[in-house]
Amino acid sequence: MFTRFRRKRIHPVLRDLLQETHLSVNDFMYPLFARSGEGIKDEVASMPGVYQMSIDEVVKECDVLKKLGIRAIILFGIPDTKDSVGSDAMCEHGIMAETVRAVKAAHPDMFVVTDLCFCEYTDHGHCGVLDPVLETVDNDITLDNLAKQAIVHAKAGVDMIAPSGMMDGMIQAIRKGLDNAGFENLPVMSYSTKFASAYYGPFRDVAESSPSFGDRRSYQMNPANRTEAIAESVADEQEGADILMVKPALAYMDVIRDVKNNTTLPLAVYNVSGEYSMLKMAAKAGVIDYDRVMMETLLGFKRAGADIIITYHAKEAALLLQKQF
């Protein structure tokens, strides 16, 4: 006799009772992009609904997010001045430190995470100090600067640090720096498995972080490598990360599950700009039901093993989840 799986699908209430994976607004973290000035809210052409904002507008946006039930943000800074080492990122009066202080003053209940990297702050667009001989980022010099940057964010009042540069040993260096500065209770969410992906294209428009030469394949991961992807996250767990991450998410569902199965830490995924923009453009072309595809995509991340979903869809998804109740 064959199995009649459909018996449990016919009645909608029974379908809901037996649903294995559930999506909640508590799963979401929303990215925000801050720059200096006042009253600035400029939409990014390649990312409809995503904006570069002045700090006062970032503070206002947090009111909108909280009304939707979204209580976690991840901040990216766009400095007025860039240089070869990304000095603004290590300055207590830089764009990131100023934004953190303003958000926490206005919204002490908002969980504020900072992206910790140098690509937005350097004039060459790479994620640290350059090695002129190898024409790539000097790993160990950059580790020292990452620790300095982390301490600046910590002093500003951030709730969690999220290093994204894929430097070897970055978690150990940041953890040591934070602990020595008295911030031993500040958690670190590592971009532990981050691929050199073509899906990042629109992000470089909003963050103004395109490399001026070459690419980032000498430090970000080869998209073809699955075993190495697991090893990267395992190493960051051993170095003291509190939360791991896989980025991008959509084309890496197998890696999300692999990392989840091979580590003991909570796992975040970053639903990146290209993934977001593809759905937006497909909706504009009339070829998909945007809401359904968006929610199915987010549910897929959760099913694959994500505990936290960093996504530009968060506000729209939160509205749909509210309508379900």
CB 202 within 8 A of CB 153: no
What residues form DSSP beta bridges with 46? none
* 247 flagged as catalytic: yes
- Cα separation of 87 and 64, whole Å? 32
* Residue 71 assigned to a binding site: no
Tell me which residue of 80, 25, 93 sits closest to 54, measured CA to CA. 80
Please tell me which residue in 247, 260, 280, 302 is annotated as part of the active site: 247
* Residue 101 assigned to a binding site: no
Tell me which residue of 227, 258, 225, 224 sits closest to 244, measured CA to CA. 258
Q: How many Cβ atoms from other residues are within 10 Å of residue 1's Cβ?
A: 3
Please tell me which residue in 8, 104, 194, 280 is annotated as part of the active site: 194
* Residue 135 assigned to a binding site: no
> DSSP label at 312?
T
The pair of three-digit structure tokens given for residue 186, joined into one six-digit string: 């500040």
* Residue 20 assigned to a binding site: no
* Residue 204 assigned to a binding site: yes
- Give per-residue burial for 209-245: e unless 16+ CB within 10 Å, then b: beeeeeebeebbbebeeeeebbebbbbbbebebbbbb
* Residue 51 assigned to a binding site: no
Q: Which residues are annotated as a binding site for Zn(2+)?
A: 117, 119, 127
Q: Which residues are annotated as a binding site?
A: 117, 119, 127, 204, 216, 232, 273, 312
Give the catalytic positions in this structure. Answer: 194, 247
Q: Which residues are annotated as a binding site for Mg(2+)?
A: 232
Q: Which residues are annotated as a binding site for 5-aminolevulinate?
A: 204, 216, 273, 312
